[in-house]
Amino acid sequence: MMPIKSEGRQKIQMARMEKASNLLVTFSKRRCGLFIYASEFSILCGVEIAIIVFFSGKKVFSFGHHQYVEMIVDSFFTKKQSC
């Protein structure tokens, strides 16, 4: 079979993604993207950054090690993940 050639990055509308499968993929990619971006920002400019992402009201993903963030994240008793 001929492999399907990628058409590369596509322009998307700035609205909630409708297809659940696409949304989940984009969620994973952009969560990593956000944390990587924050990490670079932190290194380049010597700033402390705390990020909390609330997904579906269940999952919590955190970035940074600020005491307040830890407090908040812990208070949710949810699984923590990071990039």
- Contact residues toward a copy of itself (CB under 8 A) are 12, 14-17, 23, 26-27, 30-31, 33-34, 37-38, 40-41, 43-55, 66, 68-69, 72
Task: Give residue for tokens 């993929």.
Answer: 25
Q: Residue 80 touches which of DNA, a copy of itself, none (CB < 5 to 8 A by kind)?
A: none
Nearest distance from C-beta of residue 61 to DNA, angstroms? 9
| Side chain identity, residue 60 | V
Q: Residue 9 touches which of a copy of itself, DNA, none (CB < 5 to 8 A by kind)?
A: DNA
Task: Give residue for tokens 């924050």.
Answer: 38
User: Is 52 within 8 Å of 74 (Cβ atoms)?
Assistant: no
